[in-house]
Structure 1
């Protein structure tokens, strides 16, 4: 024991110690080194006694500790006097140097009583048996928000007579390992919510660059007989500055000289510590500068790919790091396979759904029509919502919006039958009561055939007479449309629910009455499905009121703008599909023009020239022209880059606003990005639209998607 176990003032008297070793390797703590502090400390007032009387075995242990670059702690005697080296001073942080020479209970304060510190050291001292402690956390400095983690080994030191003199603790910091394991858990959680390959790519590249502090990272997946990949390099401006845009994919042939391709084809991981692993396939200086590279295969029954990570310096791939990378690659491979299956199913369901909707809506001189359909649930199933608008034989316009209950192929099939039957009935006798009566018989027959009485169909159907703007409506259990009245003489616009006589849903043998209204110039009628206004746990009237308020507050009655506003009018998410159809009685004839843009690098510049010429011919104010061309150029670039197909640019000008839309023909669910390497990425596109336009939106179509924006012209003179 200290003071009575054969060393100290009452025991052996070894040769005096005049100098303790000064640390060199591993010394990082600022201020005096621990060796100097130990030598200068007045040990005579402690149970250990003066330095000159220390037992040779204890002195040797102290020399070992002070000379080591590894964090070490000595707790000596029954009061566990604290002695440590510079590396351990970094662990103690604010407790250094006052902890030196103090009893452990006073030196460490409350931390000494935490599990894993005082209790373990006292157990080793009492039993003489060593203990290896797994990762544990002891936060010595209470103010720190991110405590460190250590693996610690505790063993006894003995005096020259063999008695237990103290405990030596060797600490190996594993904070970076713990953080990497935590980040692996975060990767798992984020991958669980990644639906598409694009989503998986964003998650994986962000994880790899942040967790491993990389200079280079690539994710590649098979694409037919070739591969496509997304790359990240340190210091580059991200292509995905706006998260709503997909990542930029590049194509590469199945060249076995490429480490990613070799890993994908062979299923074997490779690790290069120092060399030129990408020199044979390098496309730029960034890849030629990579010296250390790990290539991890991504292999599942339906996917081949690879994840490569690299440094511009030599890097030894330690076993623990290799194991972590391989575990991450397994997670990524499984997520990518799930995403590929989702995309295939999603694309099929969406194509089925939208193939049953009209590809083009009618065009009228003084009436503008727009519609929108968004899938609910998980986006992976066909639904029963539908809309339609078509010319009748006498020149009037039929417009309809309906909802077949369900979110499966059966609901979509019933929807297709109802929509086809409605057209046939309306072209024979367009009167709303007659059309609904015919549909009622159809739905009843379908229910009887399937011996299923749960077919539930609601519909609102109207006939518009373009000659005077009159609309005749009938409803079969469907929510009433919203009518937006344009303000006259500077008055604010108003909105209200149309008073349509209620009727029973189809298939129940009901009778239907009609209501009438007149669309004055500037007015817009909006039909919608219940997914627009219904929210779980909230009254239906709240959703209806929110929709009416949003319609009244709309800066214009443009039907595309109202459709976009309607889908976001009610707070919260919906599990249902959403369909909207809007018809506006225009104040005056509008001027419009359309151009097709080839998927090549010169496309955006040609659009800018064409659009500048048209808008100046139409007398649009120069500030509006400049903003519109900038936004259109960005959208055109994004459409060409991310869809890989030709785009269509449409401009429409009337007395109130300029409306611009850019449509691509990329099939939803497909992630093919042709010619991406030939075009510049413009991740800022949607941010510009939001900043410069009065309203904007994105609309899915049967064969792609459309992004549009609107700029108001009120008060701006035009020639």
Structure 2
């Protein structure tokens, strides 16, 4: 019976008559058996001697429990299971050696029954407590055990032969397979699948590296790799993996397995000799590569070791099952990304790609799709210059989450622009839209079109805002108090009915002074299940009032995260700041090449120094911008654009990529950050940060509040 696990001590001097050599076997033969029921070794029965020779020669953990007292004689493998109980367990009754578990079901009683009645016993899996090493730490270990009666040359039962193998590791691997199946069930994109697959491979098989490869759909491949010992913090685990692209004829083992559909196992060699990119690849000697086994996504999973490795049948079966599960998840992810990308591209193509760039009115917007991001929605926003020099701003919501809702949204947005350019009076614009929606409903044969819109005109010279609403939530304005603090108030605009019902929207005009920021938003920002609308509105107002600055991009991020809890509705926000002073702006196009981050650092340092920004702000901004630029180039694989804007109260830096590997990534602030340093760097050095989707990619931004001496 196993009791503990540890290394087997070797006796310093073999006993008389013991064979030459060293090791546990020598210790067993050198034991003074004369003072045990076995008696002197020279007097052992011939059949008993044969059993002892079998036990000592076997690589499997084996033990002989002899006589009525079931005294123990065992081999090196069994001694390793005994750990610190060896060598004192030699020649002692099994009931004493395993006193702590002897009375447990399936232990002492089974051995005694085998001895008394000659009943062989096999238990493929049982859990027993073990004491690990010298620390006396008790752990639950899993064993496969077999007991057989041992007979002497006269046919009498004289003992019990035990074969025991600890299968804890195999059991843990099977449990981890169940856990990874659950984790893969929650993945949506190939990035998610890769992250789960690599984490599972590293923790389960303990390789020196693991890699995951998938086809690009156009003949090429991309692969992501993790190396054992690689330091990944919690933020890094949330990052999109760093994919490496390769041509269609790439010969990496994972790609070869994906292309052929057959696994490969290298026990010792140089499996990455032709595709190695660094010393980690060059050191790999053993590798298993398995296809994902899916018709939708060609891909492969590979694990490698820096020492020779024998791939057991059980390990091969577990790898094959793992690859099968990962393949199923990759197939679902590929379908999701295709649908998700199409829906979001449709949605964003109907939104303005660029908002006006004005000296005194700074504008930002944000749109997050609701439901699962897999369907186009009807929320929209727009901001455009009017013939009289004023700024028109609008945010609306067409009910629905399908292509038809997105198409109607496009019609309403285009008609609103046309109406506003002809007559910018908010009431007149919404009146014309009301007639349009009525006509659309008649064409569709339904009176259930539900469209809400808030439209306003900002006159910066007159410092006022004129606004009308057709069933839409009242906009919010962040204003400064005389004591330097801020508060937020909802515009008291006549609500009016939704469009298409023949209503006559009212109009209100309120002050909009330098330092104020207007926030228009859709109901998805404030509506939550099991929470009143008034509570959501109050929470939003409080969050906007407490924001670190009135910068529109920062307020959009604050607004979308203000009300806790998930929403199935789309979220759209448009913010306009009436700046106290004109800001200074500059931009740089960043090519997709290794020297780009250093060029960005040099350019940004020079520009901010010229603007006399404090060195502490320059240092933090340069470090954050370098990290985000590197992140954009690695993850998007395309050129990027860096924009900086210095206002009276803050420095705003944004880094925009122009591609997302052929799909549109989900717009979540926890999915983009800097590789290696994690989100902690941006969070530590900036006062606010976030990510915004665009028509052709994503934008990551941060802002740092500046002291008065830095104001332009």
TM-score range, shorter chain: 0.7 to 0.9
After TM superposition, the structure 1 = structure 2 runs for residues 601-612 of structure 1, keeping only pairs within 5 Å, are 601-612=594-605
Residue 205 in 1 paired to residue 195 in 2?
no
TM-score by length of structure 1 reads 0.86
Q: Which residue of 2 aligns with 1:595?
A: 588
Cα deviation for residue 705 of structure 1 reads 0.9
Give the match for residue 111 of structure 2: 121
Give the structure 1 partner of residue 60 of structure 2.
70
Matches within 5 A, 1:610-649: 610-649=603-642
Deviation digits for residues 193-249 of structure 1, max 9, x if unmatched? 222222222222222223222223332222322322223344556699723432222
Where does 1:40-59 land on structure 2 (aligned, <5 Å)? 43=36
**Matching residue of 1:383:** 377
Candidates 512, 534, 538, aligned match of 2:531: 538
Matched, 1:528 2:558: no
Any conservation in 2 of the 1:21–1:66 contact (CA below 8 Å)? no
User: Residue 250 of structure 1 corresponds to which residue in structure 2?
Assistant: 244
CA drift of 1:708 comes to 1.0
Alpha-carbon spacing, 1:36–1:487, altered in 2? closer, same or farther (3 Å): farther
SS at match of 2:562: coil
In the other structure, the counterpart of 2:467 is 473
The residue number in structure 2 matching 1:132 is: 122
2:313 aligns with 319
Q: 1:671 and 1:300, CA in 2 relative to 1: closer, same or farther beyond 3 A? A: farther
Query: Residues 157 and 606 (structure 1 numbering): CA distance in 2 closer, same or farther, change over 3 Å?
Result: same
Alignment correspondent of 1:510: 503
Tell me if structure 1 keeps the 8 A contact 2:239–2:675: no
Q: 1:173 aligns with which of 166, 170, 173?
A: 166
Cα distance, 1:349 vs structure 2:
0.8
554-563 vs 267-276, greater mean Cα deviation? 267-276
**Corresponding residue number in structure 1 for 2:477:** 483
* Alignment partners' CA distance in 1, 2:698 and 2:596: 18
TM-score with structure 2 length normalisation? 0.87
The number of residue pairs the alignment matches comes to 686
**Distance of 2:233 and 2:594 partners within structure 1:** 17
Distance in 1 between the 2:294 and 2:635 partners? 26
**SS of structure 1 residue aligned to 2:417:** helix
SS in 2 for 1:242: helix
Of 438, 444, 454, the match for 1:450: 444
In structure 2, runs of 5+ residues without a counterpart are 1-14, 666-673
The answer to whether the 8 A contact 2:213-2:223 is kept is: yes
Aligned to 1:7: none
CA distance 1:671–1:449, shift in 2 (3 Å): closer
- DSSP-derived class of the 2:179 partner: helix
Output the CA distance in 2 between the equivalents of 1:110 and 1:479: 71
How far off is 1:698 after superposition?
Answer: 0.8
Q: Cα offset for 1:586?
A: 0.7
Q: Residues of 2 paired with 1:420 and 1:212: CA distance?
A: 57
Deviates more, 1:585-594 or 1:81-90: 81-90
Rounded to whole Å, the distance in 2 between the matches of 1:134 and 1:285 is 42
Partners of 2:692 and 2:124 lie apart in 1 by 55
Contact 1:634 1:682 in 2 (8 A): yes
Please give the per-residue CA displacement for 1:640-696, whole angstroms capped at 9, x wherever unaligned.
222122211111112211111111111475399xxxxxxxx9432643222211111
Structure 1 unaligned blocks of 5 or more: 1-16, 673-680
Contact map agreement 2:33 2:39 (CA 8 A) in 1: no
CA distance in 2, matches of 1:453, 1:34: 93
1:361 to 345, 349, 355: 355
User: 1:402 aligned to 377, 387, 396, which one?
Assistant: 396
Contact 1:367-1:586 at 8 Å conserved across structures: yes
Aligned to 1:577: 570
C-alpha distance in 1 between matches for 2:116 and 2:528: 66
SS in 2 for 1:300: coil
For residues 10-48 of structure 1, what are the alpha-carbon distances to aligned partners after superposition, in whole Å with 9 as ceiling and x for unaligned? xxxxxxx99788995567xxxx966677749x657xxx9
Name which of 342, 347, 360 aligns with 2:336: 342
- How far 1:101 sits from its partner (Å)? 6.9
Any idea what SS the aligned residue of 1:649 has?
A: strand
Structure 1 residue 510, shift from structure 2 partner? 3.3
RMSD of aligned Cα (Å): 3.4
| Structure 1: distance between partners of 2:497 and 2:174 | 59
Task: Report matched runs for 1:221-232 at 5 Å.
Answer: 221-223=214-216, 224-232=218-226
Please, which of 702, 705, 710 is the counterpart of residue 709 of structure 1? 702
Select which of 625, 650, 655 maps to 2:648. Answer: 655
Distance 1:512 1:538 in 2: 28
The 1:226–1:491 alpha-carbon spacing in structure 2 relative to 1, beyond 3 Å, is closer
Tell me how far apart the structure 1 counterparts of residues 382 and 312 of structure 2 sit (CA, whole Å).
63
Aligned to 1:139, the other structure's residue is in SS state strand
| Cα distance in structure 1, aligned partners of 2:50 and 2:421 | 104
Secondary structure of 2:456's match?
Answer: strand
The alignment partner of 1:633 has SS state of: helix
SS in 2 for 1:496: strand
Change (3 A) 1:104 1:293: closer
